[in-house]
Amino acid sequence: MESPRSSGWFRLKGRMLDIFGRRFQLPESPYKRMLIGALFILGGCLSVLPIFGIWMLPLGLLILSIDIALVRRWRRRSEVRWVRWWARRRGEKGPVVVASTIPPDQDRLP
């Protein structure tokens, strides 16, 4: 199964942000990243205007999730729910693992 995240619209790896197949590097300063994320959310709230759109809300939250733990937790929970929903919709059996934090040599119980 190809996960929806690997073919999705937005992907975040460290400070690199992939949007619709294009790669952007976010600033090192957490204050600049939070400002950019807040501006995207504000632009999403102004979605009635031609350039702004509802697509800016998840992108702003994704950028904010780098520096704000509460948003990061919300994003991870949403991602797990989304992958599980996607697997059920496609009719796949068995557990769905989003990401493993256990090193390969420690995956067995003693």
Residue 35's pLDDT is: 95
In degrees, to the nearest 5, what angle opens at C-alpha 100 toward C-alphas 15 and 91?
A: 105
Q: What is the pLDDT at residue 33?
A: 92
State how far the Cα of 84 lies from the Cα of 8, in Å rounded to an integer.
15
Domain borders along the chain are 10-99
pLDDT at position 73, please?
A: 92
> What pLDDT, on a 0 to 100 scale, did the predictor assign at position 96?
56
Q: Which residues contact 82 (CB under 8 A, 6 or more apart)?
A: 4, 5
Residue 87's pLDDT is what?
87
The per-residue pLDDT string of the chain (110 residues; one tens digit each, 9 = 90 and over) reads 444 444 467 778 888 888 878 888 889 999 999 999 999 999 888 888 777 888 888 889 889 998 999 998 998 898 889 888 888 888 866 565 555 554 555 444 44
Q: What is the structure's pLDDT at 42?
A: 92
Q: d(Cα 86, Cα 23) in Å, to the nearest integer?
A: 25
Residue 5 is predicted with a pLDDT of 44
109: helix, strand or coil:
coil
Structure tokens at 57: 């809300």
